[in-house]
Structure 1
Amino acid sequence: MREVLPAGWNEPRATPPPPERVWRDWALLAVSVPAVLVEAVARSAPVSALFAVAVLPTLLWRRTRPLAMVAIGFGLCAVQPFVTGEPAVLTTAAALLTLPYALFRWGSGREIVAGSVILAGKLGLAWGFAQIAGSEVIAGLVVLFGIGALGLAMRFRARARLRERQHVRMLERERLARDLHDTVAHHVSAMAIRAQAGLATAESDPASAVAALRLIESEASKALTSMRSMVRVLREPGIGDVRALAGPSTAGPPVEVRLDGDVDDLSPAVAATLFRLTQESVTNARRHARNATRIEVRVTADETSVRLEVSDDGEHGALSPGYGVSGMMERAGLLGGTCQAGPAPDRGWSVSATLPRVAA
């Protein structure tokens, strides 16, 4: 407990930082304002409607200024009954439930503590002036802090996903470091040895020096090709790279690619993951599908999701779903999707994945 309390107090704001405003904020405001006016007319409470309309703009800054918006929103709601003598507009109360969520989801530890005091103080003030009963105070605390707990849950879930992404990036960097050492460093070392040999024999045997230069040129060309391959891996791939997998190959059976639906406006993260899953599936099929004559890749997109199916007609024997399938599942899961792999009903191996059009 001694460690938990200071850690909670010193908790920084959520990362990555939230967007300032999205279209849902404007939609919520567009729905709330007419609802407030209609309720005010029905209850003949015009002054309360003015307070309600003044509170609603806090919804636009609830992510970037959560504590200030909680203070403004619930402060106005606490003052309004004393000024107007009218009950609060219920529509405003419903809209203000988003403020505790934003406070616990995006605020720092100090902001959450201060905001919790404001929330509890508002209910305590209303109970102290006999505006609400004790049971309503308890119910209000349960609702407000229940919503806050939901915000905390989403905060920790986002943090866990961020750590998973960082772990995947770290593994990718380690793999690239190994590739760099095993390929480029090998060629560079060979170039250095050939250069030393050429310098040692240049005066006595010019022909050997020329041969050494030719070998250095060859090794440099191989190193440049390896580095270009790594740059292509580091570049964020897209749906065009999936199309580029189609065609014959000296490494295995030809690949047939079929794209159905609107696949050109996928989010960059989804398009990149789609390519990585396709690339891994095609590579596995070429390595392990004996006597295969073709590899089929089909991408089908609709309004909400995109589905990938990769299959071959080879012989895999008694295999388990390995060959990097766990990594493929992790890639799909990070975006809120799924990935499965296993023997096809008739023959060969099949990989199927479903991803959202927009990453989760």
Structure 2
Amino acid sequence: MDRRGVRSWWNAPAADPRPPQRVWRDWALLAIVPVLVAVETLLRTDIPSQWPWAVLLVAVLPATLWRRRYPTAVLTTALGAGIVAGQLISTDLALVSAAYLLVLVYTVPRWGSVRSVLAGAVLLAIAVLAPSAVGAAPWVDAWGSAAVVLTTSTLGLAFRWRASSRARELERVRLLEGERLARDLHDTVAHHVSAIAIRAQAGRTAAASDPAAATDALQVIEEEASRALDEMRSIVRILRREDEPELAPLPGIADLSTLARSGTTVPVEVTITGNEAAVSPHVGAATYRIAQEALTNIRRHAQGATRALLTLRIDALAVHLEISDDGRLTHDPPSRGYGIAGMTERAALLGGRCIAGPGQTGGWIVTAALPLTGSPE
């Protein structure tokens, strides 16, 4: 690890996600510990009077409210108070209820920064080993205390790692969901807007000589705009996390024929063979979206195209999709868009593949192969 890496590690912030300010467990601790300390002090007749220690334990207890925000400072306060009290009180602390102080030991590795954890480790090592080092206590007591402290600290680190791992997984899920919604938004909007643009151009051309054709174009534009708005509202409801969003059913293979006729000036010939019922819904939806993007690209980029072919074959293992046209590309395949990338990602997420490229005799060909049941992440 180089110097910058060491500095970054040394300056690493406290645990993520950040700790809560106050939770019900804090107030339960404040309510229960004084009772336990008092009851134990009254009932323990096998040890010397522990009332001075009981007062100290209750006096230190309120500091636990700030243990997550200032873990090392609170631990230092408790250890310092215990050391000073040990010099002033003639008896040793023998109350089992003092075990609540282990909460402070747990808190340092659970919520503290790297510097806090290291400082806490040094403080605990001194507090545990110093009495035996100066001969005030046998070493067996030191090793026993060290085992308890080490176990408690390990629990803190384990819960910290678990929370951090869960936060990273949630962030990964959010990113994947965002990518999925971005693909859906791109596919639906691009499809409908392309149809609107094409019909608007046709309507403007026909407005002077054929008012009826212009009216038909306006009707198609209205229908496509309505569909685009409906689908965008569905996606927005998901993003806003409404309780019961009214989502349309997933599109699938049965909708491909309707898709081929939707707002296009290029005739699309659809051929479907195989058992459609064997295709799982999410694979059918991915197939539909890939076909939708491919047909949108034909409308936008296939200059002079007179027809397009959509062939779907379903066998025992996979769905095989091929879409081609006989046009000429208006320019090189768009490198700044997201259509081809979206089709490739959709196929990859299901364990399949999608390839798009120019045909040998002209036009553009999109082929995809998706497993029947898929393997969604």
TM-score by length of 1: 0.62
- 2:33 is the counterpart of 1:28: no
Partner secondary structure for residue 97 of structure 1: helix
Tell me how far apart the structure 2 counterparts of residues 211 and 284 of structure 1 sit (CA, whole Å): 34
Aligned-residue sequence identity (percent) comes to 47
Tell me how far apart the structure 1 counterparts of residues 134 and 59 of structure 2 sit (CA, whole Å): 24
- 2:202 is the counterpart of 1:202: no
CA displacement at 1:210 relative to structure 2: 2.8
Tell me how far apart the structure 2 counterparts of residues 187 and 159 of structure 1 sit (CA, whole Å): 42
From 50, 55, 61, the equivalent of 2:60 is 55
Q: Aligned residue for 2:156?
A: 151
Q: Aligned residue for 1:12?
A: 13
Q: Aligned residue for 1:93?
A: 98
CA displacement at 1:61 relative to structure 2: 2.2
CA displacement at 1:5 relative to structure 2: 6.3
Tell me how far apart the structure 1 counterparts of residues 40 and 94 of structure 2 sit (CA, whole Å): 7
Tell me how far apart the structure 2 counterparts of residues 217 and 88 of structure 1 sit (CA, whole Å): 82
Tell me how far apart the structure 1 counterparts of residues 84 and 9 of structure 2 sit (CA, whole Å): 31
Q: Tell me if structure 1 keeps the 8 A contact 2:50–2:95.
A: no
Q: Tell me if structure 1 keeps the 8 A contact 2:30–2:61.
A: yes
Tell me how far apart the structure 1 counterparts of residues 118 and 55 of structure 2 sit (CA, whole Å): 30
Matched ranges for 1:94-133 at <5 A: 94-128=99-133, 130-133=135-138
Matched ranges for 1:52-91 at <5 A: 52-91=57-96
Q: Tell me if structure 2 keeps the 8 A contact 1:62–1:99.
A: yes
CA displacement at 1:161 relative to structure 2: 1.4
CA displacement at 1:121 relative to structure 2: 1.8
Tell me how far apart the structure 1 counterparts of residues 144 and 8 of structure 2 sit (CA, whole Å): 29
Residue 153 to residue 8, structure 1, CA distance change in 2 (3 Å): farther
CA displacement at 1:141 relative to structure 2: 1.8
From 230, 236, 241, the equivalent of 2:241 is 236
Q: Tell me if structure 2 keeps the 8 A contact 1:36–1:89.
A: no
Tell me how far apart the structure 2 counterparts of residues 134 and 284 of structure 1 sit (CA, whole Å): 67
Tell me how far apart the structure 1 counterparts of residues 192 and 242 of structure 2 sit (CA, whole Å): 27
Matched ranges for 1:1-360 at <5 A: 8-41=9-42, 42=44, 43-91=48-96, 93-128=98-133, 130-236=135-241, 238=243
Tell me how far apart the structure 2 counterparts of residues 176 and 67 of structure 1 sit (CA, whole Å): 44
Opposite residue 92 of structure 2, the aligned amino acid is P
Tell me how far apart the structure 2 counterparts of residues 150 and 2 of structure 1 sit (CA, whole Å): 30
Partner secondary structure for residue 121 of structure 2: helix
- How many residues are treated as equivalent by the alignment? 260
Q: Tell me if structure 2 keeps the 8 A contact 1:77–1:88.
A: no
Please provide the CA RMSD for this pair: 3.7
Deviates more, 1:175-184 or 1:218-227: 175-184
Tell me how far apart the structure 2 counterparts of residues 16 and 177 of structure 1 sit (CA, whole Å): 27
Opposite residue 93 of structure 2, the aligned amino acid is A
Residue 2 to residue 144, structure 1, CA distance change in 2 (3 Å): farther
Tell me how far apart the structure 1 counterparts of residues 116 and 156 of structure 2 sit (CA, whole Å): 14
Tell me how far apart the structure 1 counterparts of residues 80 and 95 of structure 2 sit (CA, whole Å): 16
Tell me how far apart the structure 2 counterparts of residues 216 and 160 of structure 1 sit (CA, whole Å): 48
Residue 24 to residue 231, structure 1, CA distance change in 2 (3 Å): same
Residue 95 to residue 166, structure 1, CA distance change in 2 (3 Å): same
Q: Tell me if structure 1 keeps the 8 A contact 2:72–2:112.
A: yes
CA displacement at 1:174 relative to structure 2: 1.6
Residue 102 to residue 83, structure 1, CA distance change in 2 (3 Å): same
Partner secondary structure for residue 22 of structure 2: coil
CA displacement at 1:130 relative to structure 2: 4.0
Tell me how far apart the structure 1 counterparts of residues 183 and 114 of structure 2 sit (CA, whole Å): 41
TM-score by length of 2: 0.59
CA displacement at 1:193 relative to structure 2: 2.1
Residue 5 to residue 119, structure 1, CA distance change in 2 (3 Å): farther
Per-residue deviation, residues 23-73 of structure 1 (Å, max 9, x unmatched): 222222222102222333444233222211111123222222211111111
Structure 2, gaps ≥5 residues long: 253-279, 285-315, 318-348, 350-377
Tell me how far apart the structure 2 counterparts of residues 10 and 135 of structure 1 sit (CA, whole Å): 37
Tell me how far apart the structure 2 counterparts of residues 76 and 130 of structure 1 sit (CA, whole Å): 21
CA displacement at 1:218 relative to structure 2: 0.8
Deviates more, 1:93-102 or 1:20-29: 20-29
Opposite residue 178 of structure 1, the aligned amino acid is R
Q: Tell me if structure 2 keeps the 8 A contact 1:39–1:89.
A: no
Opposite residue 67 of structure 1, the aligned amino acid is T
Structure 1, gaps ≥5 residues long: 246-250, 252-282, 288-317, 320-326, 328-360
Residue 7 to residue 147, structure 1, CA distance change in 2 (3 Å): farther
Tell me how far apart the structure 2 counterparts of residues 218 and 2 of structure 1 sit (CA, whole Å): 61
Report which of the two structures shows the higher radius of gyration computed on alpha carbons.
2
Q: Tell me if structure 2 keeps the 8 A contact 1:100–1:145.
A: no
